Amino acid sequence: MNRQKIEVIKEYYWNGILEYEKTFLNGIPDGIWTFYYDNGQKKEVKTYKNGEPDGIWILYDYNGQIEEEKTYKNDTSEICIKRYFNNEQLKSETTGFLITDEDGLQKIYGNHKDYYQNGQIMNEKTYGKMGMEGTWKSYYDDGQLRDVQSFKDGKREGIFKGYYDSGQLHFVIHYITDILGIHTTYHKNGQILEEGTLYDGLKDKTWKRYFDNGKLESVNTFIKGKIID
């Protein structure tokens, strides 16, 4: 009959306060691991099953407020990570799959949301194996859409639109390639403010600027962000 060996390891700070308590089953991490600050407050609580992360892991700040929760699901690579402001209001949430790449680095492929402190969504993002993926959106703190753009295999594609906080269209970029796009910016009255080509985020070639009545204000030529006299 196989005998199971359960081992509990405890370590203490210089002042006698418990620093951590870990449990092992036959030499493998198993059960609840608890870590503490030197003031006695919990620092982190982890759960293992057969040496693998399991269930909810909780990280606390020095005052006992929850900073982060990680939930490992169903003995798979599926994970949910929630981070919090210091009032324990939700700050961000990531759901997806935890993958270790060829360099040994862990990455999460899935959906990510950031939040303002008033609870409104700040942005929504998706990551795939190649990086940025799908539709990304960001918002003003009142919930009004700020911008929306698309990615495929880590590269921009299609149309990137930005909006004023009034909901009026602010700019449009039509991406021809990941780094080359046609940019048009608008006045708040809907008239074109500026139009030209962007190369890797920098003004390139001919750019035209207009007054808010539609009349041409200036024409300039750029080479990768530098104006040509």
Q: What is the pLDDT of residues 92-147, one digit of tens each?
A: 999 999 888 788 888 899 999 999 999 999 999 999 988 999 999 999 999 999 99
Query: Residue 153's closest CA among 175, 172, 171, 134?
Result: 134
| pLDDT at 1 > cutoff 60 | no
Inside any domain, residue 143: no
Inside any domain, residue 71: yes
pLDDT digits (tens, 9 = 90+) for 161-190: 999 999 999 999 999 998 999 999 999 999
Give me the mean pLDDT over the 196-203 stretch: 95
Inside any domain, residue 48: yes
Rounded to 5 degrees, φ, ψ at 224 are 50, 50
Inside any domain, residue 209: no
The enclosing H or E element of 221 equals: strand 216-223
| pLDDT of 226 | 94
Q: Read off the DSSP letter of residue 169.
A: E
Q: Find where tokens 């405890």 sit.
A: 10
Report CA torsion sign: 142, 147, 152, 154. Answer: negative
Inside any domain, residue 205: no
Give me the mean pLDDT over the 81-86 stretch: 96
- Which pTM value belongs to this model? 0.87
Provide the domain limits for residue 35: 1-76
Domain count, the chain: 1
Inside any domain, residue 228: no
Average pLDDT, the chain: 94
CA angle 100, 105, 107 (to 5 degrees): 65
Give me the mean pLDDT over the 193-211 stretch: 96
Torsion of CA 48, 28, 108, 113, to 10 degrees: 20
Inside any domain, residue 66: yes
Q: State how far the Cα of 129 lies from the Cα of 153, in Å rounded to an integer.
A: 8
Q: Read off the DSSP letter of residue 4.
A: P
Inside any domain, residue 125: no
Which range (77-81, 100-104, 125-129, 196-200) has the least confidence?
A: 100-104
Give me the mean pLDDT over the 49-55 stretch: 91
